[in-house]
Structure 1
């Protein structure tokens, strides 16, 4: 889902959990208050990411009749945000490098604020579409900048936990948007749910005013004294060691260009990173995130019932994501990913059968919601977290940002395709036909990941690389 695309660059200095294992087995120290506050404020971008992504699902039920939108118009309103996000994600790295992480996030928060207000006041579909594109640009840039900023200001011992908070808050934002939609469903109001995104945007804007800049960005621009001040939570020796580490990593990164991604030794990792991103989208998670109320409207016979059902789906998504992020290191990546994809496919097959039944009332309607909840739970525990986790672990550190960018581009591009075609496919093939397509792709994705995905838990980059090469050799 859009919520699960994380930036590989955010992990460029290593997985926080892996680093913690290397530095001892005791409990990770709590980050300093300044770091915690800055992280929480920056992660507000994740909350807004999820909220603005999910809120259109319920609002669409009331926007469409007010503005006289058919399937094409509704898909355009939804996909406008994804088109903006694709552009924002592609430009996000250059923007954050030019302006700095903090100043970029200040501008992102301001765009979120303007986009929310404009959405709520839109006099017609053209203005609403423009507002959604604007919000998409903010989402795309924040999807790069937020995890990057958190990773660069957090102590290495707590980096994984703090970066994961951003991932978790995306699902919280989606759930919050579903709850707000349900509160306004009886009044058939879509303006307030869209406009209320201005509240967390304003809080993020105010909170970032006192935040520090990323020490890595400062060091790379020769502003070492400011970098030391930004590292005030570390001891002088730790600060100097981190500054030296930043310089060394920058020298290593400078040795790699985009053309170097064509090197044969990177091909297995690239295939896996892009493959996970593609399967993540092509099993149809965002068809459910964006259009669940529209799909369920015919099941429940009312807008209010359909919107309330999506709250349950959003709750399952949030809870399971939190559990999976907390337990991923003990459960392992490969069994969780493959097991989750298998359950995703099974849930899709169940949905195909249920939507083929002559009636969707009573027990059948309940079973449809249950199947959707099982689907979203399995996705959240596997593909939902795998897209950022795989890209953070399978690439060499120096090339991770560039390589993960290809996965992110794949994710946003396919997300846009799903958003722009879901209702058209339902009209021509029915819900069962749509879910059948996703099930077939999911089954193919399972086979792909079975052959490509090594276990990365507790293994060094060299061991992971050797495992990927061995798998590629067996396929050859």
Structure 2
């Protein structure tokens, strides 16, 4: 009895240690998500004041918004090499340092050129965070909570957006756009300190031949030594593929399928048009009939709050109901929301403005954001980190994350141009058509990966199963 009791106590202590370590990993990655969200959200409130300060044209405003996405694409592209060589931990550390430099540079900009350069630096940091944090979480989490942990990261992205909107609203009365941009340096400093204490990914360690160190990390993360050893054996099995990265991509048709699916998923996420609402929220509400800056900013805060609250749906359902049902529902909701929002804006453009139409526009915007927050926003990042084989994971996630930010840059740099050419209604109806297309793609191509280990997904992929079946 004594031996059984002692064994139970040891197992209980290990389980408690594992829970604490998983919590610390989640919180640290969540701070990276918070910074990601702050950078996305802050520009919408700061842009009207920056425009006035530097007397910007519509094209220059698009440059200010899209320069961060250019940097993010470069960061994601470069971080594939950085993450492979130095590991996920030191990639996050580099991102935190660049967050600090980009935030302070943006706040102290004396002309448009310095602001754009600082925004590119900030974008590189965002690209690193958006690449590394979901990948790191997917490699650290067990299969039964993997979706929840990555969704929690996305929840912190939405919290960052909301906090940016609240900060912008508070500072809008003084018009202090420098403070709006500079305050981001504080959470970046917190991330830098936390990353110092993070362990490296066991899968990255094993890929580098450091199997003993990988086993130690797995013992820290799993609630029993047996689970840690079983997982390490699965990782070793997946590492038997001799080629990796670009060479494996060129030689293996199944790997190419996974990489292209990841790129397609990220393009789908961006061309829903939802990030447009994040970047140009005050502009959209101005078109809907809200005339004062304070009215526009308060409506923007409501959007940010909706984004955060709706993400909780994904957090609590993605590992139970699954990834695919969330995408089907989300794309349907976004299609309906953009359809009605386009109608509202057409009425306003036609001179039929009313309080009811303005509030209906806010309601449809909230509906669109809710659909996005509970589906494409978190689920695409989850899937992209799950479907890539271990020996090609850095390359595959580099391709998908870079696609995300190139697509993001395209929509950010074309929105005002689209408004001028086809009008507000036509612009949102274009996104309606794209969301309908994405519903069809989800039925035909997207796999369900809930509660399946990364190694099992990889085996199904490499044996040639249809993409929609690799999670079975």
CA 1:93–1:393: 2 relative to 1, 3 Å: closer
Aligned to 2:196: 209
Residue 337, structure 1, aligned to residue 330, structure 2 = no
- Deviation of 1:100 after TM superposition, in Å, equals 2.6
- Deviation of 1:160 after TM superposition, in Å, equals 3.8
- Deviation of 1:87 after TM superposition, in Å, equals 0.7
- Deviation of 1:43 after TM superposition, in Å, equals 2.4
Q: What CA deviation, in whole Å up to 9, does each residue of 1:159-211 have, x standing for no partner?
A: 44333321221111111111111111111221111111111111111222333
TM-score (norm 1): 0.84
Aligned to 1:51: 38
Aligned to 1:11: none
Q: Which runs of 5+ in 2 are unaligned?
A: 1-14
- 1:23-34 residue pairs with structure 2 within 5 A? 31-34=18-21
The correspondence for 1:311, drawn from 278, 289, 301, is 301
Residue 411, structure 1, aligned to residue 404, structure 2 = yes
The correspondence for 1:117, drawn from 104, 108, 111, is 104
User: 1 CA distance for matches of 2:135 and 2:176?
Assistant: 36
Q: What CA deviation, in whole Å up to 9, does each residue of 1:293-339 have, x standing for no partner?
A: 12213421011111110111111111111212311243344333223
Q: Which runs of 5+ in 1 are unaligned?
A: 1-27, 472-476
- 1:59-208 residue pairs with structure 2 within 5 A? 59-154=46-141, 158-208=145-195
The correspondence for 2:317, drawn from 327, 340, 348, is 327
Single out whichever of 237-246 and 427-436 deviates more from structure 2: 237-246
TM-score (norm 2): 0.84
Residue 281, structure 1, aligned to residue 270, structure 2 = yes
Single out whichever of 44-53 and 271-280 deviates more from structure 2: 271-280
Indicate if the aligned counterparts of 1:92 and 1:142 stay in contact, CA closer than 8 A: no
Aligned to 1:425: 418
User: 1 CA distance for matches of 2:354 and 2:433?
Assistant: 27
Aligned to 2:355: 362
Q: What CA deviation, in whole Å up to 9, does each residue of 1:393-426 have, x standing for no partner?
A: 5555655554444333322211111111111221
The correspondence for 1:39, drawn from 19, 26, 36, is 26
* SS at structure 2 position matched to 1:69: coil
User: 2 CA distance for matches of 1:329 and 1:29?
Assistant: 22
Indicate if the aligned counterparts of 2:76 and 2:127 stay in contact, CA closer than 8 A: yes
* SS at structure 1 position matched to 2:299: helix
Size of the aligned set, in residue pairs, is 444
- Deviation of 1:454 after TM superposition, in Å, equals 5.3
The correspondence for 1:441, drawn from 431, 434, 447, is 434
Indicate if the aligned counterparts of 1:320 and 1:380 stay in contact, CA closer than 8 A: yes
CA 1:316–1:274: 2 relative to 1, 3 Å: same
- Deviation of 1:373 after TM superposition, in Å, equals 0.5
- 1:375-394 residue pairs with structure 2 within 5 A? 375-392=368-385
- Deviation of 1:132 after TM superposition, in Å, equals 0.7
* SS at structure 2 position matched to 1:123: coil
User: 2 CA distance for matches of 1:140 and 1:121?
Assistant: 22
- 1:267-278 residue pairs with structure 2 within 5 A? 272-278=261-267
- Deviation of 1:392 after TM superposition, in Å, equals 4.6
Aligned to 2:364: 371
CA 1:278–1:156: 2 relative to 1, 3 Å: closer
Indicate if the aligned counterparts of 1:111 and 1:134 stay in contact, CA closer than 8 A: yes
Indicate if the aligned counterparts of 1:347 and 1:372 stay in contact, CA closer than 8 A: yes
Q: What CA deviation, in whole Å up to 9, does each residue of 1:123-153 have, x standing for no partner?
A: 1211111111001101111222222333344
Indicate if the aligned counterparts of 1:215 and 1:228 stay in contact, CA closer than 8 A: yes
Indicate if the aligned counterparts of 2:54 and 2:111 stay in contact, CA closer than 8 A: yes
- Deviation of 1:237 after TM superposition, in Å, equals 5.0
- Deviation of 1:292 after TM superposition, in Å, equals 0.9
- Deviation of 1:68 after TM superposition, in Å, equals 0.6
- Deviation of 1:362 after TM superposition, in Å, equals 1.1
CA 1:162–1:269: 2 relative to 1, 3 Å: closer
Indicate if the aligned counterparts of 2:83 and 2:394 stay in contact, CA closer than 8 A: no
CA 1:218–1:63: 2 relative to 1, 3 Å: same
User: 1 CA distance for matches of 2:414 and 2:446?
Assistant: 30
User: 1 CA distance for matches of 2:293 and 2:400?
Assistant: 36
